[in-house]
Structure 1
Amino acid sequence: MTVTEVTAIIPVFNDRKSLEIAIPTSIKSLSEITPSFEILIAEDGSSDSSAELVNEYKKQDSRINLLHSDDRQGRGRALNRAIREARGNIVCYYDVDLATDMRHLQELIGAIRQGYDISTGSRLMPDSDIVRTGGREIASRTYNLLVRTMLGSRVFDHQCGFKAFNRERILTILPAIRDNHWFWDTEILVRAQKKGYRIREFPVHWRAGKGTTVRLKDVFAMGSAIMRLWWQIHVSKD
């Protein structure tokens, strides 16, 4: 039986149009890195025929698989499920809009091959090349500064949707993850650092997807999530 080296996970919620680009781009990019890979589409209760599109691709390429959920379970829970079901020794995920340039996929996977437990793209390192609105930039820098200050993280950018893991190592952390949605990315990096895991962060070329805005309630949610994790780690010892 052939061992799968890399599993690429793409979280999806009503993203059919983006998938039409993401799937063939993923096949091409992964084929240049390893002959042994699979693509898991973690489709989270979509109503736009995303699942049907994935199944059509699967008929043409058995390396593509669908993880469907009838109900909306949240991005974090969808990623947990996909990582547990992945066959690859290396597991990576990236946003379906391919906001992070896929030329960085080689470096992302290469870091795990080199012995790192986690690798992650960064939009906030000096050599990062990013384009997004001023409001999002300010919110992101403020959020990440709070995470570094309050939670003791050494990572610059916690929320970049471009990460890879040593699957065996990351499976031991998943039971401790409490967040089921967007804060999942931050929580897994913070908890991994608390366990002494080796993390490689590197600058990326990144462009904001269309239709993404920062709302006041998002800012409050960011602060609340940071405080909740601080309490779990330092007070309740979870």
Structure 2
Amino acid sequence: MAVSDVTAIIPVFNDRPALERAIPVSLEILAQITDEFEIIVAEDGSTDGSATFVREYEKNSSKVRLLHSDERLGRGTALNRAIREAQGSIVCYYDVDLATDMHHLPELIEAIRSGADIATGSRLLPESDIRRTEGREIASRSYNILVRAILGSRLFDHQCGFKAFNKAKILPIISTIRSNHWFWDTELLVRAQRRGYTVTEFPVRWRAGKGTTVRLKDVFGMGSSILRLWWQIHVSKD
């Protein structure tokens, strides 16, 4: 495939129903932004036929590309792999359930075109329009307060699955990221800010996907990851 203007990455693990909606919606919105784009489905060891569905799409659309793994890599590792494989000079990714309103996609891409190294949607700015359970809201706000306090981030929402990058600038960062799963987003944003990268954060309309829950072990795991990254940055100097 020739070099594209934009690569959109959709990470997926066992969520074929969401994928069946995400691909056609992505094709429609990306076509309004640029003629030169590709969609990479970073399919991470799914067993529900997600890979088969994307292969069928590949036969009919040169814009869609499957990046399959037989074994589960973890969300972070799958994203690293897809970013390296991307043909676009601008790379974005969003959650397969399209929890963030896709009408924000032009704004996300335009932020990179206007000079930002990274752009990210935010569910925690005053202008954001979000809908989720009280438990998830408390957990999210508490987590992001800790990231700001302990890791020195200036951002408000580190885990929103709606981000874009200048590919040339982001490649050196992803080679330093140790997290292979959900903490990947936070680690990337923290390390990028420490390098002086320009990060644009803007409010989005966001609706929690069906079946998404916050488990106690996830909360503890995130807390441990914050402390581990602090140690890597300040003590081991990684």
User: Does the residue aligned with 2:88 lie in a helix, a strand or coil?
Assistant: coil
**Identical-pair percentage:** 73
1:197-238, Cα deviation, whole Å (9 max, x unpaired): 000000000000011111111111111000000000000000
The offset of 1:174, in angstroms, is 1.1
Mapping 1:149-188, distance limit 5 Å: 149-188=149-188
Q: TM-score, normalised by structure 1?
A: 0.99
Give the match for residue 15 of structure 1: 15
AA of the residue aligned to 1:146: L
Q: TM-score, normalised by structure 2?
A: 0.99
Q: RMSD across aligned C-alpha pairs, in angstroms?
A: 0.8
The offset of 1:24, in angstroms, is 0.2
The answer on 1:41 being equivalent to 2:41 is yes
User: Does the residue aligned with 1:163 lie in a helix, a strand or coil?
Assistant: strand
Contact 2:136 2:213 (C-alpha < 8 Å) held by counterparts = yes
User: Does the residue aligned with 2:4 lie in a helix, a strand or coil?
Assistant: coil
Contact 2:2 2:87 (C-alpha < 8 Å) held by counterparts = no
Give the match for residue 135 of structure 1: 135
1:21-59, Cα deviation, whole Å (9 max, x unpaired): 000000000000001000000000000010000011111
The answer on 1:105 being equivalent to 2:113 is no
What is the rounded CA distance, in whole Å, between the counterparts of 1:120 and 1:48 in structure 2? Answer: 30
Runs of 4+ in 1 over 6 A off after TM superposition: none
1:159-189, Cα deviation, whole Å (9 max, x unpaired): 0000000000000111110000000000000
What is the rounded CA distance, in whole Å, between the counterparts of 2:96 and 2:63 in structure 1? Answer: 17
User: Does the residue aligned with 2:67 lie in a helix, a strand or coil?
Assistant: strand
What is the rounded CA distance, in whole Å, between the counterparts of 1:173 and 1:217 in structure 2? Answer: 28
What is the rounded CA distance, in whole Å, between the counterparts of 2:214 and 2:63 in structure 1? Answer: 36
Give the match for residue 147 of structure 1: 147
Give the match for residue 91 of structure 1: 91
Mapping 1:185-200, distance limit 5 Å: 185-200=185-200
AA of the residue aligned to 1:76: G
The offset of 1:115, in angstroms, is 0.6
